[in-house]
C-alpha cells in the first residue's frame, strides 16, 4: 500500500515537472513577441524583421524535431533528456547576451532546434505516468502550461521591457529554463518504455499513414491562420486598436489566460469527438478572423481578438491524439516520432503564418492580417474534414 502511494506520488510529481517544462518552453519561445518594439530599437531593425525571431525559430523547430526523433532512436531517453536540456539552457543564455541581431537570430535557431525534441521527449512519459486512457488530459495540461507561459512571456515580458530593459525579460526566461531542466534531470525516471531501440524504418513508417500526413497539414493551415495575426499581436493592439503599452500588456495577459482555457477545452473536445471536432473549430475561427478584419480599428475588434484566444489551441490535442493513436495501433516503435509531430507541425504553422503575416504587414498593412487568417482557416477546415474521414477508415 505504501509502495503504491509512493509510486503514485512520484508519478504526480513527474507530471507536474512535465507541465512546468511546458511552461518553460513556452516562455523561451514567446518572449520576443511581447518585446518586438524594444528589440527593433535596440538592434536597429524593422518590426517586420523582428518577426524572423519567431519564424526562423519555428522553421528550425519544425525541421529538427522529427529528424532528431528518427536519428536518436537507438539512444536512451534519459541521455537525450540531459543533452537536450543542456543545449536548451545554453541557447537561452545566448539570447540574453546576444551582442547583435545576427547572434540573436542564431540563438533562436539553436533554441528552436532543441525545444521541439525536448517537448516530444517529455510527452512520451505521459502514457507511462498517467495511463493510455488519460493521455488527452496529460497532454492538455502540458499545453495549457504552454499557454500560461504566453501570458508571462508576452504581457509581463513586455511590461518588464517597458519599465526596465528587454534583457530582463529574456534573463528571467533563461534562469527559469535552467532551474526546470535541473529539476527534470533529478526527478524524471531514468528508464522507460521508449528506451527500446528503434530503427529508422520502425519510426519513419508512421509517415506513410495518410491521416498523419493530412493531420500535419491541419496544423500548417490552422495554426498559420492564427499566427498571421498573433505573430504581430503587439503592434496590432497598439497601432490598429490604439491601445497604450500598459493596456496592451493587460490584454495580452487576458489573452494568455483564455488560451489556457483553450488548451483544457482541447482535451475535452478530443475525448468527446476526436479529430472531427477540428472541422467546426476552423469554421468558427474563419468567421472570427473575418470579423476582426471588418471591425478595423473599432473598439469592439478587441472582442474578436479575445475569441481568437479561446479558439487558438482547440485543435492541438485532437491532432496529437491522432498521431499517437496511429503509432500505438500501427507503428508501436514510432511513439517518440508521433509525439514530435505536433511540435513540428505546430511550428510549421507558426513559421508559415508569421511569414504570411509579415508579407501582409509589409504590403496592405496590419489591418489586413485578419482577412488573410480567415482564408487560411477555411483551407484548414477542408483539410480537417479529409483527415477525419481518413482516420475513420484507417483506425476505427
Nearest Cα to 369, choosing from 348, 355, 383?
355
Helices and strands, counts by H and E, the chain? 19, 0
* 155, 30 Cβ separation under 8 angstroms: no
Cα angle: 233, vertex 19, 179; to 5 degrees: 90
* 15, 188 Cβ separation under 8 angstroms: no
Q: Which residue has the higher pLDDT, 342 or 183?
A: 183
Examine the pLDDT at 136 and tell me if it is beyond 80: no
Averaged pLDDT for residues 324-340: 80
Highest mean pLDDT among 112-121, 158-167, 374-383: 374-383
- Sorted by where each starts, the structural domains of the chain and their CATH numbers stand as 2-395 (1.20.1250.20)
Categorize the per-residue pLDDT at 196 as very low, low, confident or very high, splitting at 50, 70 and 90.
Answer: low
The cell numbers describing 35, all together, are 518585446
Examine the pLDDT at 4 and tell me if it is beyond 50: no
* 20, 139 Cβ separation under 8 angstroms: no
Could you please report the per-residue DSSP string of 140-193? HHHHHHHHHHHIIIIIIHHHHHHHS-HHHHHHHHHHHHHHHHHHHHHHS-S--G
Examine the pLDDT at 290 and tell me if it is beyond 60: yes
Q: How far apart are CA 119 and CA 181, in angstroms?
A: 12
Examine the pLDDT at 3 and tell me if it is beyond 60: no
Q: How far apart are CA 193 and CA 28, in angstroms?
A: 29
Q: How far apart are CA 153 and CA 224, in angstroms?
A: 20
- The answer to which of 12-26, 182-196, 212-226, 232-246 has the lowest mean pLDDT is 182-196
Q: How far apart are CA 87 and CA 190, in angstroms?
A: 19
Categorize the per-residue pLDDT at 190 as very low, low, confident or very high, splitting at 50, 70 and 90.
Answer: confident
Nearest Cα to 367, choosing from 273, 240, 275, 243?
240
Q: Which residues contact 71 (CB under 8 A, 6 or more apart)?
A: 200
Question: For position 375, what pLDDT does the model report?
Answer: 95
Nearest Cα to 387, choosing from 307, 298, 325, 300?
325
- The answer to which of 159-163, 316-320, 358-362 has the lowest mean pLDDT is 159-163
- The answer to which of 41-50, 103-112, 217-226, 352-361 has the lowest mean pLDDT is 41-50
Averaged pLDDT for residues 29-54: 80
Whole-number average pLDDT of the chain: 84
The cell numbers describing 247, all together, are 493596456
* 334, 327 Cβ separation under 8 angstroms: yes
Amino acid at each position: 500500500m505504501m509502495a503504491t502511494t509512493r509510486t503514485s506520488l512520484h508519478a504526480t510529481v513527474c507530471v507536474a515537472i512535465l507541465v512546468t517544462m511546458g511552461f518553460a518552453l513556452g516562455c523561451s519561445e514567446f518572449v520576443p513577441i511581447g518585446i518586438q518594439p524594444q528589440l527593433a530599437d535596440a538592434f536597429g531593425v524593422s518590426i517586420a524583421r523582428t518577426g524572423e525571431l519567431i519564424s526562423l525559430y519555428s522553421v528550425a523547430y519544425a525541421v529538427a524535431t522529427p529528424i532528431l526523433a528518427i536519428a536518436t532512436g537507438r539512444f536512451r531517453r534519459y541521455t537525450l533528456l540531459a543533452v537536450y536540456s543542456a543545449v536548451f539552457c545554453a541557447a537561452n543564455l545566448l539570447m540574453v547576451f546576444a551582442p547583435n541581431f545576427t547572434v540573436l537570430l542564431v540563438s533562436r535557431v539553436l533554441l528552436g532546434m532543441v525545444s521541439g525534441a525536448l517537448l516530444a521527449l517529455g510527452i512520451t512519459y505521459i502514457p507511462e505516468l498517467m495511463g493510455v486512457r488519460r493521455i488527452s488530459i496529460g497532454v492538455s495540461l502540458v499545453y495549457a502550461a504552454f499557454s500560461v507561459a504566453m501570458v508571462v512571456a508576452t504581457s509581463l515580458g513586455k511590461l518588464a521591457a517597458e519599465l526596465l530593459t528587454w534583457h530582463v525579460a529574456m534573463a528571467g526566461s533563461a534562469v527559469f529554463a535552467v532551474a526546470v531542466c535541473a529539476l527534470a534531470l533529478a526527478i524524471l525516471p531514468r528508464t522507460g518504455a521508449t528506451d527500446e531501440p528503434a530503427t529508422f524504418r520502425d519510426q519513419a513508417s508512421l509517415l506513410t499513414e495518410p491521416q498523419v500526413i493530412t493531420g500535419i497539414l491541419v496544423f500548417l493551415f490552422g495554426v498559420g491562420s492564427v499566427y498571421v495575426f498573433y505573430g504581430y499581436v503587439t503592434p496590432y493592439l497598439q497601432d490598429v486598436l490604439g491601445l497604450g503599452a500598459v493596456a496592451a500588456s493587460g490584454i495580452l495577459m487576458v489573452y494568455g489566460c483564455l488560451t489556457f482555457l483553450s488548451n483544457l477545452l482541447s482535451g475535452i473536445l478530443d475525448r468527446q469527438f476526436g479529430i472531427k471536432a477540428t472541422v467546426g473549430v476552423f469554421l468558427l475561427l474563419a468567421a472570427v478572423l473575418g470579423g476582426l478584419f471588418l471591425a478595423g480599428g473599432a473598439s469592439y475588434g478587441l472582442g474578436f481578438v479575445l475569441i481568437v484566444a479561446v479558439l487558438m489551441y482547440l485543435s492541438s490535442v485532437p491532432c496529437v491524439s491522432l498521431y499517437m493513436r496511429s503509432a500505438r495501433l500501427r507503428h508501436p516503435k514510432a511513439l517518440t516520432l508521433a509525439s514530435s509531430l505536433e511540435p513540428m507541425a505546430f511550428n510549421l504553422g507558426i513559421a508559415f503564418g508569421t511569414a504570411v503575416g509579415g508579407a501582409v504587414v509589409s504590403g496592405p498593412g496590419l489591418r489586413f492580417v485578419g482577412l488573410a487568417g480567415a482564408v487560411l482557416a477555411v483551407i484548414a477546415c477542408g483539410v480537417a474534414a479529409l483527415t477525419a474521414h481518413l482516420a475513420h477508415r484507417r483506425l476505427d
